[in-house]
């Protein structure tokens, strides 16, 4: 029987990252969806509503952890590429959100909810990723 020497019963770092991402984003989407359809309406606007806010924030922290695990479990090339993309996406997100925040304060720009920072960060990460191809 022929076997692929690269295959093993242990999933690759990329596969583990995908599984973790699906898990954390599944929880993130589920909590938001349940809130949107009104399951937690009795909690909203009260101090106990912080439990929902924390329940949505924990998968965000989990996703950062998953990304750090991807970096730790990958070879040096992948580690550097992911780090560069993370830094570029962080820098762009911080710059834009800071400019917009001051625009709200100084130029009467419309308010943007802070929770949009998270999807914006990953959108920028996705946009810069194809252009970051070297580890130097």
Q: Are 59 and 25 in contact (CB under 8 A)?
A: yes
Q: What is the DSSP letter of 46?
A: S
* C-beta separation of 80 from 135 below 8 A: yes
Assign residue 45 a region (left: φ > 0; alpha: ψ between -120 and 50; beta: otherwise): left
Nearest CA to 32 out of 9, 56, 16, 15 is that of: 56
Dist CA 12 CA 26 (whole Å) = 21
Summarised one tens digit per residue, pLDDT across range 3-16 is 344 556 778 999 99
Domain ranges of the chain: 12-74, 76-136
* pLDDT tens-digit series, residues 16-29: 999 999 999 999 99
* pLDDT average, residue stretch 32-47: 94
CA distances from 43 to 34, 38, 71, 104, 114 (A): 12, 10, 38, 29, 20
Give this prediction's pTM: 0.82
- The vertex-25 CA angle with 118 and 30, nearest 5°, equals 105
pLDDT digits (tens, 9 = 90+) for 89-118: 999 999 999 999 999 999 999 999 999 999
């Amino acid at each position: 029987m022929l076997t692929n020497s690269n295959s093993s019963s242990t999933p690759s770092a990329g596969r583990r990252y995908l599984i973790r991402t699906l898990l954390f984003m599944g929880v993130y989407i589920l909590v938001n969806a349940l809130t949107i359809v009104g399951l937690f309406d009795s909690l909203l606007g009260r101090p106990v509503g912080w439990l929902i806010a924390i329940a949505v924030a924990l998968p965000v922290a989990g996703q950062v952890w998953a990304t750090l695990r991807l970096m730790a479990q990958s070879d040096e090339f992948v580690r550097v590429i992911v780090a560069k993309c993370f830094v570029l996406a962080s820098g762009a997100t911080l710059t834009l959100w800071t400019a917009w925040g001051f625009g709200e304060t100084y130029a009467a720009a419309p308010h943007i909810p802070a929770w949009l920072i998270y999807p914006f960060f990953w959108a920028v990460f996705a946009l810069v990723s194809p252009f970051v191809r070297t580890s130097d």
